[in-house]
Structure 1
Amino acid sequence: MFRHMLVPLDGSRLAEAVLPVTASLALALDAQVTLLHVVEPGAPPTVHGDVHLTQAGEAEGYLRGVAEAMAARGVRAAVAVGQGADVAGVIASRAAALGTDLIVLCTHGRGGVRALLFGRVAEQVLARGTVPVLLMAPTAVRREQVWTVRRLLVPLDGSTMAEAALPAATALARALDAEVALVMVVPTVATIADDRATAARLMPTAGAALLDVEAEQAVTYLQGVKARLEQEGVRVAMAVERGEPVRVLLDRLAGPDVDLLVMATHGRSGVSAVWAGSVASRLVARSPRPVLLIRIPRGGDQAGLQSDLPRSG
């Protein structure tokens, strides 16, 4: 898994925030890296405060400089220059043509800009194929900085769909000598947001009791997954958290003991809302850690753990 990584760069220092992550993964996985720049017709003269690379020759020269810096760290890096107004489309098509199995890119900015890039690149790539996408926020990281992973956070919901993230997480954990932290978020009556919310709030005592049962079931479920992964030689921790999924996961990611979030990208309501597209994009937009998004296979089982609260409608 992850033998060939595609890394789009626009020439800005912000985009280069992905380079320490790329180098660490490439060395740990013995993976090849292809650095890509897409020349856009009519592009502005600057991008994120840096000169925009608008000519194929200068783009290739820039990428070769980055490749040389990575080679000094022992990373095999090739360069490629594409052209087109649809940057996301060029990245997706180049990934398919090269046979890459991981795309690594910076989300560039905050709020709408990050959300736009997530939608145009990550969602398009995931929709068109099965290539995982590793996204990270721009930082002041220099090229030579070393990125280490001690713990990978993997949210689950009791479904095989969410478990689509586990093979990648376990492979990375072995390669990086890291721990996999399994987490399941069960809502409270105050934070439940799916079609059970009305019933839970009309009958708060009964609703709280049913959600408590759901939390107990989640513990049993995670214990089973933990035992399975430990049999494969992976160090595993587990936790059942209570509250609103995005807030809980962001709190975990803000702590010092998590270095990477690995998650599947689709699901359903209730506890599984963490895999809904809107929730995934909210996590990507606000996560202080890199986020590895894994495409759920088509036709996957959607069953997850949910209480028997009546649903509206």
Structure 2
Amino acid sequence: MFGHLLVPLDGSRLAETALPAAAELARRLRASVTLLHVLEPDAPPTVHGDRHLRSPAEAEGYLAGAADWMAARQVSADVALNQQQGDVAATIARIGGAVGADLIVLTTHGRSGVRGLLFGRVAQQVLQRGAIPVLLIQPSASGRDAAFAFRRLLVPLDGSDTSERALPAAAALAAAYGAELGLMRVVPTVDTVSGDQSAPARLLPTTTAAMLEVEAAEAGSYLERIAGGMRQEGRVVATAVGRGDPVRVLADAVRQRQVDLMVMATHGRSGVSAVWAGSVASRLIGTGATPVLLVRIPPHDEKTPDLLRPSAPPP
């Protein structure tokens, strides 16, 4: 499914955490790789404690060294250098399309720190400006020596067609790695119902609790229907219904099940804004519990306002 990976690098060791992930994926999927550096206007002297790449010659030498590192791991990598000193996010999206990349591998940090990239303009605009899925890798002080493997994948679902758009990518990766695929839906409890339903839940706790129990049972049946079809294709699929706050439940599941990758669908332009502006999905990504693969849904396919929205009791 993924045949060409684009890996943006800013010259720092933290950004190089994406290299082991890209190398592992490229070997397993037999994908090609392009390493990219974007020269930034008015770049500071250092980035995350490392000297910032401020000239084309310096950046070319750095990219050549990174390509040699990939070659030592049996992965051939091309290099791309943007010398126009343009906008970072726009350049990543543009070059991704130009080289035919179908996956962008990013370390979740930038000059403004983890939240600066993860919840700021770079990641948001990369998603908004193209249809290329983005794999977000948590930064590690180990840099190029960070370990990376896929053994267990988790796909959070909310019952919508939108969330299910993550399934093909997850199934393809699980097949390539022989990994276990987990499907999970979270149904709130009375005390974790949020939004417009929180007041009715407080006023009618017994009725709300009964409705949520029914919803939890239906969620289990929903997951098993999806898993059944995937098992017929030879996949190893587990399902689970969690109860409580979606972020806490999913983060706990990642730790307890030792999940290596979470695969999630995200919307187009308006949907991305919802996801990156305080939604459950953005909070979950912000926990840094595991790498996250975001599969972008075109705007015309948007059907729900937010991924992993907390379930609400029926009216």
Instruction: Output the TM-score relative to the length of structure 2.
Output: 0.90
Residue 307 of structure 1 deviates from its aligned partner by: 5.5
Deviations 1:3-51 (A, max 9, x none): 1111000111100111111111111110011000111122111100001
2:271 aligns with: none
Structure 2 stretches of 5 or more lacking a match?
269-273
SS in 2 for 1:143: helix
Residue 266 of structure 1 deviates from its aligned partner by: 4.1
Change (3 A) 1:51 1:185: same
SS in 1 for 2:105: strand
1:87 aligns with: 88
Instruction: Output the TM-score relative to the length of structure 1.
Output: 0.90
| Contact kept? 1:154, 1:262, Cα under 8 Å | yes
SS in 2 for 1:37: strand
Residue 306 of structure 1 deviates from its aligned partner by: 5.1
Residue 205 of structure 1 deviates from its aligned partner by: 0.3
Deviations 1:243-294 (A, max 9, x none): 1111111122233520011001249xxxxxxx84422222222223111111
Residue 182 in structure 1 maps to residue 183 in structure 2: yes
| Contact kept? 1:24, 1:147, Cα under 8 Å | yes
Residue 301 of structure 1 deviates from its aligned partner by: 4.1
| Contact kept? 1:24, 1:148, Cα under 8 Å | yes
1:66 aligns with: 66
1:309 aligns with: 314
Counterparts of 1:213-232 in structure 2, within 5 Å, are 213-232=214-233
Residue 168 of structure 1 deviates from its aligned partner by: 0.5
SS in 1 for 2:13: coil
SS in 2 for 1:43: coil
| Contact kept? 1:226, 1:236, Cα under 8 Å | yes
Structure 1 stretches of 5 or more lacking a match?
268-274
| Contact kept? 1:88, 1:124, Cα under 8 Å | yes
| Aligned AA (2:265) | A
For these two proteins, the number of residue pairs brought into alignment is 302
Q: Aligned partners of 1:159, 1:194: CA distance in 2, in Å?
A: 18
Q: Aligned partners of 2:257, 2:49: CA distance in 1, in Å?
A: 30
Residue 299 in structure 1 maps to residue 301 in structure 2: yes
Deviations 1:103-140 (A, max 9, x none): 11111279x73222123222212212211101122112
Q: Which runs of 4+ in 1 moved over 6 A?
A: none
Q: Aligned partners of 1:212, 1:65: CA distance in 2, in Å?
A: 56
Residue 146 of structure 1 deviates from its aligned partner by: 4.3
2:15 aligns with: 15
2:171 aligns with: 170
| Aligned AA (1:15) | A
| Aligned AA (1:190) | D
Change (3 A) 1:109 1:9: closer
| Contact kept? 1:217, 1:305, Cα under 8 Å | no
Residue 182 of structure 1 deviates from its aligned partner by: 0.4
| Aligned AA (2:46) | T
| Contact kept? 1:15, 1:108, Cα under 8 Å | yes
Residue 263 in structure 1 maps to residue 268 in structure 2: no
| Aligned AA (1:309) | P
2:54 aligns with: 54
Residue 305 of structure 1 deviates from its aligned partner by: 10
For the aligned residue pairs, the C-alpha RMSD in angstroms reads 2.1
Residue 43 in structure 1 maps to residue 43 in structure 2: yes
Q: Aligned partners of 1:95, 1:205: CA distance in 2, in Å?
A: 52
Q: Aligned partners of 2:144, 2:189: CA distance in 1, in Å?
A: 43
Q: Report the more deviating stretch, 129-138 or 214-223.
A: 129-138
Deviations 1:165-221 (A, max 9, x none): 001000100111111110000001100113222111110000000001000000000
Q: Percent identity between the aligned chains?
A: 56
Change (3 A) 1:254 1:31: same
Q: Aligned partners of 1:276, 1:71: CA distance in 2, in Å?
A: 37
Residue 124 in structure 1 maps to residue 125 in structure 2: yes
Change (3 A) 1:212 1:256: closer
